[in-house]
Amino acid sequence: MRKSLVIKRSIVVGGHKTSVSLEDDFWDALKEIAREHRVTLSDLVGSLDSGREHGNLSSTVRLFVLNHFRRRVEADETERADAQTSTAETRPDRIRD
Provide the residue-wise pLDDT of the chain in tens; the chain has 97 residues: 667 689 999 999 989 999 999 999 999 999 999 999 999 999 999 999 998 887 899 999 999 999 999 998 988 787 777 777 766 666 656 555 5
Distances (CA, A) of 59 to 15, 21, 35, 52: 21, 9, 21, 10
What value, to the nearest 5°, has the Cα angle with vertex 41 and ends 37 and 42? 125
Domains in the chain: ranges and CATH: 6-90 (1.10.3990.20)
Q: Give strand ranges (E) for 1-97.
A: 6-13, 16-23
Output the pTM of the full model. 0.75
Which pLDDT does position 42 carry in this prediction?
95
